[in-house]
Amino acid sequence: MTLLCDIEPAVAQALNSLGSHMTKRMEDMYYFYAAKHIHDTLDAFIVLRAQHRLDGSRLLVRPALETMLKLRAVRAKPELLHRALVADNKEMDKWFSSVARRHNLPYTPISERTEWAAFRARFASQFGAENLEDGAPLTAYDAAKAIGIEPYYDTHYRGFSHYTHGLLEAISGALDQLIDPEASRVMLQSAMTALDAVTYLGANCPNLESLSQRASEVLTKIPDKLLRRKAEGA
């Protein structure tokens, strides 16, 4: 947690330093907003952990983890950007089309809009039309598979998803002993992924090397058991 508290302002400052930068590649904005989302979850995670609200802070882990997986996948294979946006579009269509029906308004699916056609044309010119052939949405598992960390998905992503989906074993506290020590480690990996992405975009982070070294040292150690604070009078 000490390291996370040092990384959070570094990510914030790096994001802010990009204010005057112009994007060079079409995937750059994806990197920026994914990094910002990870930072926002990290910021809230630190606040809740400082107040010993462990259960609430844990609910922020999966959003950061899923964003990290997709960000790392697109960083490793930028041609996956198309599939990542297809996944986003399908989710947005489900929501917006439902809202439109409720208000009796017309709705044009994103895939049928001129903006999407323009994106596909630009994507084809940068990555090749063959990379548009696979229109399957990029799932978190697909992202993990693309970067060769399926076991991490099977353990960490599935584990934190149990809390997101409200499984009884999770919300009853039965899994806390397994999950608690990993929460801050997942947030650390996510934060370093975000920091690496924004520095790739040209952000200023003078202490990146030292933060990376500290993170590596933490992540290669077996995590300590997280001791929960007992309620007053318990």
In this structure, is residue 93 part of a structural domain?
yes
Cα angle 81, 84, 85 (rounded to 5 degrees) comes to: 90
Task: Give Cβ neighbours of residue 189 (< 8 Å, ≥ 6 apart).
Answer: 68, 215, 219
Tokens standing for 16?
Answer: 């802010």
Check pLDDT > 80 for residue 11: yes
Check pLDDT > 90 for residue 88: yes
For the residues 40-45, what does the mean pLDDT come to?
98
Check pLDDT > 50 for residue 234: no
**CB–CB of 15/39 below 8 Å?**
yes
- Domain span at residue 183 reads 2-219
Check pLDDT > 80 for residue 233: no
Distance spanning both ends of the chain, measured CA to CA: 26
The mean pLDDT of the chain is 94
DSSP letter for 155, please: I
In this structure, is residue 18 part of a structural domain?
yes
In this structure, is residue 105 part of a structural domain?
yes
For the residues 154-168, what does the mean pLDDT come to?
95
In this structure, is residue 231 part of a structural domain?
no
In this structure, is residue 198 part of a structural domain?
yes
For the residues 41-54, what does the mean pLDDT come to?
96
With 0-12 CB in 10 A as exposed, 13-18 as middle and 19+ as buried, what is 144? Answer: buried
Confidence of residue 223 (pLDDT cuts 50, 70, 90): confident
**Residue 158 amino acid letter:** R
State how far the Cα of 130 lies from the Cα of 123, in Å rounded to an integer. 10
**CB–CB of 233/45 below 8 Å?**
no
Amino acid 139: pLDDT: 96
Amino acid 230: pLDDT: 58
In this structure, is residue 226 part of a structural domain?
no
Q: How many domains does the chain have?
A: 1
Higher pLDDT among residues 222 and 197, named by residue: 197
In this structure, is residue 31 part of a structural domain?
yes
Closest by CA to 49, choosing from 186, 228, 174, is 228
DSSP letter for 154, please: I
State how far the Cα of 45 lies from the Cα of 53, in Å rounded to an integer. 9
Q: How many CB atoms lie within 10 A of CB 24?
A: 9
Check pLDDT > 70 for residue 231: no
